[in-house]
Amino acid sequence: MTKAKCKVVVKGELCKGCNLCIEYCKREALRIGDELNLQGYYYAEANPEGECNGCMVCTLLCPEIAIEVYSEGE
Ligand code: SF4
Ligand code: SF4
């Protein structure tokens, strides 16, 4: 059985650091980074220690439509 790998990407300039995506990601694939964006928010980013499974929950929850998820193939 093959397992699809996915990659989550946050558009940092759109993020308002609300934490919703981080709270609801069951794979701990997102985290808040340590840099401010131009709006003055610490923004979400992919967590290299997590493993995105492409469930898309974060993309549905994000009020700023700041998250994209890509399939990296099988
Ligand atoms: S798609 Fe799912 S597993 Fe991947 S970062 Fe979003 S909530 Fe987490
Ligand atoms: S849900 Fe959207 S706005 Fe909120 S922290 Fe995640 S990426 Fe940023």
Chain segment 28-55, per-residue pLDDT in tens: 999 999 999 999 999 999 999 999 999 9
Nearest CA to ligand 2 atom 8: 15
Q: What is the DSSP letter of 30?
A: E
Please give the structure tokens belonging to residue 68: 């994209």
Q: What is the DSSP letter of 14?
A: T
Whole-model pTM: value is 0.92
Task: Return the pLDDT at 4.
Answer: 66
Q: How far does residue 44's CA lie from ligand 2's centre (Å)?
A: 6
| Domains of the chain and any CATH numbers | 6-71 (3.30.70.20)
pLDDT tier at 16, thresholds 50, 70, 90:
very high
Nearest CA to ligand 2 atom 3: 15
Spell out the alpha helix ranges (H) of 1-74.
20-24, 57-61
